[in-house]
Chain A
Amino acid sequence: MKILLTELVERILAGNNISYEEALELANLPDSETISFFSHANQLRNHFFGNRIHLCSIINAKSGLCPENCSFCAQSVHHTTNAPLFPLVEEEEIVSGAIRAESEGSGCYGIVTSGSGIRQGEELERIRQALTRIREETGIPPACSLGVINLEIASILKEAGMEKYHHNLETARSFFPNICTTHAYDDDLETLKAVKQAGLKVCSGGIFGMGESRAQRVELAFTLREMGVDSVPINFLNPIEGTKLADADYLTPMECLRIIALYRFILPDKQISVCGGREKNLRDLQSWMFFAGASGTMIGNYLTTSGRAPLDDWQMLLDLGLTPAEQ
């Protein structure tokens, strides 16, 4: 197995991709090879990103009453949770969030809203104006995560100064019906295509620990590779009381790290950031995520759950000899 990992790394560094079968083998490496797996993933991370770690932040700009029935989501109208409920926040609050994110060392600021997808109207106009101001008043690149969109909306957002659009595929196509039945997987793929067509960077990843198989994790990674995404957020399920996945318990810290390493091998030159569920699932092994191949992480709070203080993450980077990419 050590030889296999070394050979794979050499091939990747020579500009080749690993095959689906090889990825499946990596996903099922015996426990005895885990540390070696991480070490080789770290080698890939270091080759493509050096000691620079990308930090990102988000604002929950509109929360709750989402008509989609995604089984993990506290904000779905199909679940009864204590998720906050509020309409789109004012432009000033969005811009203030960007200023704060920049002061905390974040290299990207995501404006996130609940709902199936934004359309032409008041909300889009408010976000468009916020994006314009963020560009004028800060140095932090803004991104958006507003649901399913088309080329027209993507172009409007790009015109306003957005560089990147986020839209997770969440899971493999074969597992998607277990997660969401209110829209089609192809709607999500079409959003990614529209974003690319508009000339924007695409940020798309998934949530792990929802009951998907290891093979399905590989399947998702290959879909993301085929779609040519630029950055991949990896989220670990934080089971929320009142959602369909409230009792899910599929992950251990080591399994989370193995997912990160797997994705580094399949998407070696992409920004792979550990986002939601990091603290809950990785626990004391949070700093291992970079050793396992992650080149970024989200700092601050998540959508409906709290993250730890950004200063603590900065200290973690310093202790590891890593630096924020945007510094």
Chain B
Amino acid sequence: MKLAILSDTHGNYPLAVKALESLDSPDYIIHLGDTSDDAEMIELALGREIIKLSGNCDMAKKYPELIITMIDGNKCLLSHGDQFMVKNGLNLIQRRAKREEADLVLYGHTHRPVVQNLNGVLYINPGEMGKNSRLQSFALLSIENGAVTAETVDIRTILPTQSHFSSLYP
């Protein structure tokens, strides 16, 4: 099973669409918030439903702020991360992950792409895709027979014409 994880697109959904279109049709796409409006636009552009969460910039909170679900035998905790103050470190989200006995944590908010294993739990932050960000990225997750592999993907590696400070839609 292949999953594409995005977060913090902050209005730059066209780039997200381009990035996702370049992939080999992931089984699931998850947007971790900021903004869920972008997630809705991505759905319209791709003609498929994506899993949407609300971030701190999603004032209406149309979508859940926390999802705990099983994916191929792995208990997954999905959150934008603001409610766990991830910009100050991962202590709070680690505590929640421990309480939920999660195997996998997907979070955003910090705008920094990360894949790290902490006490046996895999933490994945896809980074951001904002128009003016220096590093635009997302994450790819593969779950086969319960085993998880993950990587973050620099947009420039799949869309080489994409420069640091521009979006494809000026």
Question: For chain A residues 276-299, which have a beta carbon within 8 Å of chain B?
Answer: none
Q: Enumerate chain B residues within 8 angstroms of A77, measured Cβ to Cβ.
A: 51, 64, 67, 69
Given A85-B70, A122-B25, A123-B48, A78:B43 Cβ within 8 A: no
Interface string of A39-75 (1 = CB under 8 A from B): 0000000000000000000000000110101000000
A86 surroundings in chain B (CB, below 8 A): 1, 27
Decide if B71 touches A85 in the complex (CB within 8 Å). Answer: yes
With an 8 A cutoff between CB atoms, is B68 at the interface? yes
- Chain A residues with Cβ below 8 Å from B47 are 119-124
User: Which residues in B have their C-beta under 8 angstroms from that of A79?
Assistant: 69
Q: Is the CB of B68 within 8 A of A119?
A: no
Tell me how far the C-beta of B53 lies from the nearest C-beta in chain A, rounded to whole angstroms: 9
CB-CB under 8 A for A67 and B63, given A87-B27, A87-B28: yes
Residue of B49, B64, B70 near A81 (CB, 8 A) is: B70
Q: Pick from A67, A77, A79 the residue with the most CB of B within 10 Å.
A: A77
Kindly identify which residue among B27, B68, B70 contacts A82, using a CB–CB cutoff of 8 Å: B70
Most chain A beta-carbon contacts within 10 A, residue among B1, B48, B49, B75: B49
Query: Would B28 and A119 count as touching, CB distance under 8 A?
Result: no
In the complex, A119 Cα to B72 Cα: how many Å? 25
Q: How large is the interface on B (under 10, 10 to 19, 20 to 34, 35 or more residues)?
A: 20 to 34
Output the least CB separation between A88 and chain B (Å).
9
**Interchain CA distance A82-B68 in the complex, whole Å:** 12
Are A67 and B48 also in contact (CB < 8 A) when A78-B64, A85-B71 are? no
Interface residue tally of chain A, by bracket?
20 to 34
B49 touches A115 (CB 8 A): yes
**Which of A82, A121, A122, A124 has the most chain B CB atoms inside 10 A of its CB?**
A121
Q: Distance in Å from the Cβ of B61 to the closest Cβ of chain A? A: 12
Residues of chain A lying within 8 A (CB to CB) of residue B69: 64-65, 77, 79-80
A116 on the interface (CB 8 Å rule)? yes
- For residues 47 through 69 of chain B, which have their beta carbon under 8 Å from a beta carbon of chain A? 47-49, 51-52, 63-64, 67-69
Contact A80 B75 (CB under 8 A): yes
Q: Tell me which of A67, A85, A87, A122 contacts B52 (CB under 8 A).
A: A67
CA distance A119 to B50 in the complex (A): 12
A82 vs B71: C-alpha distance in the bound complex, in angstroms? Answer: 9
Partner of B51, one of A65, A81, A120: A65
The answer to whether A65 and B43 have CB atoms under 8 Å apart is no
CB distance from B146 to the nearest CB of A (A): 12
Give per-residue flags for A14-45: 1 if the beta carbon is below 8 A from chain B beta carbons, else 0: 00000000000000000000000000000000
**Closest B-chain residue to A125, C-beta based?**
B47
Q: How far is the CA of A81 from the CA of B52 in the complex (A)?
A: 19
Which B residues are in CB contact (< 8 Å) with A120?
47
Interface string of B101-139 (1 = CB under 8 A from A): 000000000000000000000000000000000000000
Output the least CB separation between A118 and chain B (Å): 8
Given A65-B28, A78-B64, A87-B27: A121 in contact with B75 (beta carbons within 8 A): no
24 contacts between A and B (CB under 8 A): A64-B69, A65-B28, A67-B49, A67-B51, A67-B52, A67-B63, A77-B51, A77-B64, A80-B68, A80-B69, A85-B71, A85-B72, A86-B1, A86-B27, A87-B28, A115-B49, A116-B49, A119-B43, A119-B49, A120-B47, A121-B47, A121-B48, A122-B25, A123-B47
Top-7 shortest CB links A-B: A121-B47, A87-B27, A115-B49, A120-B47, A121-B48, A80-B68, A77-B67
Q: Which residues on B are within 8 Å of A, measured CB to CB?
A: 1, 25, 27-28, 43-44, 46-49, 51-52, 63-64, 67-72, 75
